[in-house]
Amino acid sequence: GEKFNVSKLVGAPPGYVGYEEGGQLTEKVRRRPYSVVLLDEIEKAHPEAFNILLQIMEEGHLSDAKGQKVNFRNAMIIMTSNVGADTIKRGPNLGFSFQRDEAVVAEESYREMQKKLLDELKRNFRPEFINRVDSIVVFRQLAQSDIRKIVDIILSEVNERLVDYELTLEVSSEARDWLAERGYDPEFGARPLRRLIQTEVEDLLSDTVLAGKFKHGETVVVDLNKEDDKVVLRHPDEEAAKETALGEVAT
């Protein structure tokens, strides 16, 4: 059952398959005490898993199925949670005024959202668990400038893969903005962005390289065809629909 699966964290009970292998959590931390342990969507964990976490946070160690104490004092435990996600989607109830500074309004909106999310956490988790967490971080929503930076990071990874072909990738500001705008979703954040770049840039790049459009040592410009509203690949001396400013992707 589910409780047995939780027990795998500290090791299978005597007589069960895997007993000699040790716990999936305890054995890894025992071998690498300076570890980062990531627990995703912690609100879905079995109650028994919370008891294990409470022991770690309170005592700094955890006993495995063999009775061996594993030291967690040098491990960093990071837990993520989607509790309060609906609150984020609904957004704050603050009114906006043209006379007010946008930065001030944004900060007030964040503070209101932060308070609501912390209230949600208190309703969903036991007080003894919340009280033992050293820090609770409420992430801000991504701004358009953040999305553009993520576009550059992903495209720089593509650029690195072009080294074998002796090609260099550049991206126009219009193409960057186009990818940033279409790759962001209020519900899923920047997750769709990598898939968008895969379909709109990488697949197109593979086809053009295989077709021999670009030769070794040349630069490939990722640009926006404004007439078709589509990403295109071109040589630096060519134009898309109109002249665009170029920005080299950092490597």
Q: What is the pLDDT of residues 107-138, one digit of tens each?
A: 888 888 889 889 999 999 999 999 999 999 98
E strand segments, 44-196: 61-63, 69-71, 76-79, 168-172
CB atoms within 10 A of CB 82: 12
Provide the 3-class DSSP secondary structure of residue 31: helix
Which of these, 113, 107, 120, lies nearest to 92 by C-alpha position?
Answer: 113
Render pLDDT for 192-216 as a digit per residue (tens, 0 to 9). Answer: 999 999 999 999 999 998 899 998 8
Q: What is the 3-state secondary structure (H, E, C) of 177-222?
A: HHHHHHCCECCCECHHHHHHHHHHHHHHHHHHHHCCCCCCCCEEEE
Least confident piece of the model among 2-6, 35-39, 62-66, 187-191: 2-6
Which of these, 177, 153, 170, lies nearest to 226 by C-alpha position?
Answer: 177
Label residue 248 by pLDDT band (50, 70, 90). very low
Kindly state the average pLDDT of the residues 224-230: 91
Decide if 171 contacts 232 (C-beta within 8 A).
Answer: no
Has residue 241 got a pLDDT over 80? no
Least confident piece of the model among 25-39, 184-198, 214-228: 184-198
**Contacts of 22-25 spanning 24+ positions with Cβ under 8 A:** 22/64, 22/65, 22/66, 23/64, 23/65, 25/52, 25/62
- Whole-prediction pTM value? 0.66
